[in-house]
Amino acid sequence: MTRINLVPPSELCDQHLLAEHRELTRIPNAVAKGRFHVNGQPEDYKLGEGHVRFFFNRLLFLKNRYTLLHQECLARGFNVQNRWPDTLPEDAALWQDYTPTATALAANRARIAERMPQKARFTPHQDTQPQTNIHPHQP
């Protein structure tokens, strides 16, 4: 299974965030190796059969999504590597973007809720700014 969610990465539990970060690159890697086809590609976002095929020509969406996922992982303090492939075809037809519809977002949120782990973790963002004392010590 390869999951591509549509909700902002900040809404994902740790388990779903890390899994999507790991799985999303399967699609551009398949494109880079020429192991893909768009025959029978669904016109709209869907879950289940056709889910991966929907994204084969939406590499811009996937690249932007992966960047957001990676940034969210780092913000939560996870030690992750950027695994976006360096060698992808430059064919403009493959580099389409995608704007999720309200229907697609609702379906995605329902699936996330359905598959939410019983002990879902939501690691807060790690504070990367040095602590400053708002009320300096007064003698």
Let me know: does 45 contact 107? Beta carbons within 8 Å.
Answer: yes
Alpha-carbon gap, residue 6 to 8, rounded angstroms? 7
Query: If one looks up domain 9-114 in CATH, what number appears?
Result: 1.10.440.10
Active site residue 90: no
Non-local (6+) Cβ contacts of 94 within 8 A are: 31, 56, 57, 59, 88
pLDDT tens, per residue, the chain with 139 residues: 788 999 999 999 999 999 999 999 999 999 999 898 888 889 899 898 888 999 999 999 999 999 999 999 999 999 999 999 988 999 999 999 999 999 999 999 999 999 999 999 999 998 754 444 444 444 4
Question: What is the value of pTM for the model shown?
Answer: 0.86
pLDDT at 137: 45
The residue with tokens 């996937």 is 62
**Choice among 20, 23, 43, 90 that is catalytic:** 23
